Amino acid sequence: MKFNSLIPELTVADIERTRQFYVGVLQFKIEYERSEDKFVFLSMDNNQMMFEQDNGNWSVGILEYPYGRGINFEMTVSDVENIYKRVLDAGIKPFREMKVSHYRNGDEDIVQKEFLVQDPDGYLLRFTE
């Protein structure tokens, strides 16, 4: 496995609840885990993320829900509609419904289909195609 040069490692309240959401609902793949550390490394397409249950080792302040205020993790995926359907089928309300967005980049218009959903700890995930 090749590691991306940037891999977010997110602190979570309950690693099992996180695993159920990311693996069970979104269908991320478990690359490896250290159950004794309540740690898991996940991937989907070219996206990689690490999760560790709060142990105080990385805390710079008090964590309060929703975690990750002010950030969203944009992930380009091969089938955004299928992920969106799994989210809806799981009874999860998206933070932002699926839509086609246009973003200006100089003279270029970037068009992408996207939706946003919060994970169990409130981290905001933006899936695009």
**Taking CA 43 as the corner, what is the angle to CA 39 and CA 47, rounded to the nearest 5 degrees?**
120
Q: Which CATH class is domain 9-56+65-128?
A: alpha beta
> What is the 3 state secondary structure string of 48-91?
EEEEEECCCCCCCCCCCCCCCCCCEEEEECCCHHHHHHHHHHCC
Is the pLDDT confidence value at 59 over 90?
A: no
Domain ranges of the chain: 9-56+65-128
Asked if 36 contacts 81 with a C-beta cutoff of 8 angstroms, the reply is no
Q: Residues 101-118: pLDDT tens digits?
A: 999 999 999 999 999 999
Q: Residues 22-56: pLDDT tens digits?
A: 999 999 999 999 999 999 999 999 999 999 999 87
Question: What's the rounded mean pLDDT across residues 5-19?
Answer: 97
8: closest CA among 59, 47, 46?
Answer: 47
Q: Which of 18-27, 53-62, 72-81, 85-94 has the lowest mean pLDDT?
A: 53-62
Determine the pLDDT at residue 125. Answer: 98
DSSP summary character for residue 46: T
Determine the pLDDT at residue 80. Answer: 98
- Give this prediction's pTM: 0.93
